[in-house]
Chains A and B, each alone.
Chain A
Amino acid sequence: MNLQVELLEENSVQRFKIVGEIDAFTAPKLKEKLAAVEKVVGMQAEVDLSEVGYMDSTGLGVFVGFYKAVKANEGHVKIIGVNKRLKRLFEITGLEQVMDIVMEESRDADATV
Chain B
Amino acid sequence: MNLAVRDIRHSLGRFVLTTIGVGMLLMVVMGMGGIYRGLVDDALVVTRGVGADLWVVQQSTRGPFAEVSRLPRRVVDRVAAVPGVTDAREFVFHTIQREHRGKPLRMGVLGLGWPTDKGEGLPMVAGRVLAQNHYEMIADESLGLALGERLRLGKDTYTVVGVTSAMVSSGGDGIACFTSRDAQAIQFDEPGESVRLERQARRVRAGEIDFGRTQPSVLDRASGSSRAIVALPGPAVSAVIARLMPGADTDAVLRTFEGWSDITVYSAAQQEDLLLKGSVDRARRQILLFRVLLTIISAVIMALIIYTLTLDKLHPIALLKLIGAPNHVIVGLIMQQSLIMGALAYGVAYLIGQQLFPLFPRRVLVAGDDLLRLGAIVLVISVLASLLGIWKAMRVAPNEAIG
Q: Do A and B bind each other?
A: no
